[in-house]
Structure 1
Amino acid sequence: MQESRREDSIGLRKLVLYRETVVTEAGEQPADPALQATVAAVITNPWLGTGPSRDLSPEVTRIAPVLAQLLSDRLIAVLGGVDAVEAFGKAAIVGNSGEIEHGGALIHTPYFGNLMREFLEGESIICFADTRSEAGAALVVPLWHKTHAATRSHYQTVTARVSDAPRPDEIVIIAAGSTGPRPHPRIGDRTTDPAVTVKNLESALP
C-alpha cells in the first residue's frame, strides 16, 4: 500500500524491465557472461506548460528520490543483488511537449544520482544519456564500473526502449546496470597503458 501511494504521488503510468545476457560472442562463450538490465519508469511530466523561468526544484525534491529508490530496487532484484551489480548508468527520454531540461532535472541532481549511487553501493560518477523524442524511441545508455571508472572492460552500453512512451506529456526515467564486463575484454586498462602522445607517435601518424 505504501509503495502504491508513492507511485501515485509521482504520476507513474508504468514500469518496463529489460534484461539480456550474451551467450556467445565471436563463436565462444564468455568466461563469465554478464547480465545487463534496464528498468524504465514512465511518469507524467510535472512541468508541462511551464516556461523556462520555472523553478524545477520543488518537483525534483519530491519525485527524484522516489524514482531513485523505485528503479534501484528493481535493478538490484533483476541483476541478482547489489553485490552482483558491477556497472551502472542512467538516462531520460522527454516527450516532445517537454524540455530536455525536464529529463535532466530528474537524473542530474543529488536527489536521484547520489541516491542511486548509494543504493547500488557505487562510488563512480554515473554515466548518462538523455534526449527528447516520441514514443517508442530507443536510447543507448552507457555504463561503466560503479567503483572503478577507469576499468575499461566495463565500458559498455545497453539499449532501452518503451514501446508506447514517452507520450508528449511524459518522461521516461531509466536505471541501467550490468553484472560484469563486455564479452572477452582484452584492450587493457588505464592503469597499464603505455604513455601515448602525439610526439612519441609522430613516425606512425600520417
Structure 2
Amino acid sequence: MTDRPTTFEELGASLGVRRVTLIHEEVFGEAGSVLDTPVHKAAAIAVVKNPWIVDGQSTGTDADLNDATQKIAPVIAKLLADRLLTALGGAENIEAFGKAALVGTSGELEHAGALIHTPYFGNLIREMLEGTSIICFTDGRVEPGTNVHVPMWHKTHAANRDHYQTIDVSLADAPHADEICVIAAASTGPRPFPRIGDRKTDIPVTTDILKGLL
C-alpha cells in the first residue's frame, strides 16, 4: 500500500502537477512619478497534465469532465492561493484578483474552462483571498512560450475601474500539448495614478454623443 500524500504539493504531484511558478512584481512608479506606496502584483502558475488527454488524444467532446475537475481544481486552487498569500503578505493586503487557464494544443478549450470556471476553483480562490467578486479571467489554447496578459479587478467591487489591471506571464516550456496551465493572480493596489473616474462619478452617456460629429 502506498503512502498517502502529506502535503498539497505531494497531492498535486500525484494528480499530474509538473511544476508551480511564482511571478512577483513591485511597481514603484509611472511616467516619472513615484507612488507613495509601491503596488505588488503576483501570479502563481501551475502546469498540470491534462486529465482528458489519453494516449495523445482528447477523450472527446461528449466526455464528462466533472470527476477530474472535482479532484484536481481544488488542489490547484490551494497551491496557487498559498503562494499568492505568501508573496503578498496575506489576504488583508490583497485588493484585486484574476485567473487564467491555457490548454495545450491537443486539448479542448473546455478542458481549460473546467479547471477555473467552476466552484471547485473559483470559490476556493475567493474564500482564501477573502474576495466576493466574480473573478475576471482569460483562457485559450496556446503553444509553449506564449505570453499571457492575466486581467485583474477589485476582489469585492468589480466595477471599480481603478483596479482594472493585468500582469504579464510568460509560459516558458508550457503547456505541452497534453498539459494545462492554470494561473491565479493578485495585486495589493490599483493601477498607478488612476484618474479615469468610476461609475459613481460618470455622467450619463448614450449614443447621442455621436450626433453631429460628422
Normalized against structure 1, the TM-score is what? Answer: 0.95
Q: Select the residue among 161, 169, 177 that pairs with 2:178.
A: 169
Identity score, percent = 55
* Counterpart amino acid of residue 60 in structure 1: T
Counterpart in 1 of 2:202?
Answer: 193
Alpha-carbon displacement from aligned partner over 1:10-63 (angstroms, at most 9, x marks no partner): 201111111112222111112322111100000100001211110000000000
Structure 2 unaligned regions, length at least 5: 1-5
Relative to 1, partners in 2 of residues 1:52 and 1:194: Cα closer, same or farther, differing over 3 Å? same
Partners in 1 of 2:211 and 2:110 — Cα distance? 46
Across the two proteins, how many residue pairs are aligned to each other? 205
Residue 9, structure 1, aligned to residue 31, structure 2: no
Between Structure 1 and Structure 2, the one with more strand by share is 2
SS in 2 for 1:33: strand
TM-score of the superposition, structure 2-length normalised? 0.92
Name 2:3's counterpart in structure 1: none
- Measure the CA separation in 1 of the matches of 2:110 and 2:88: 30
Pairwise CA distance, 1:8: 2.2
Q: CA RMSD in A?
A: 1.3
Instruction: Classify 1:8/1:191 alpha carbon distance in 2 versus 1 (closer, same or farther; 3 Å).
Output: same
117, 135, 154: which one aligns with 1:108: 117
User: Counterpart in 1 of 2:131?
Assistant: 122
Contact 1:95 1:170 in 2 (8 A): yes
Q: Take 1:97 and 1:202, find their aligned partners in 2: how far apart are those partners?
A: 46
Contact 1:93 1:132 in 2 (8 A): yes
The structure 1 segments of at least 4 consecutive aligned residues displaced by more than 4 Å after TM superposition are none
For the Cα contact (< 8 Å) 1:16–1:162, is it kept in 2?
no
Matched, 1:205 2:210: no
Render the CA deviation track for 1:75-125: whole Å, top value 9, x for unaligned: 111111110110000001111111111000000001101111111110110
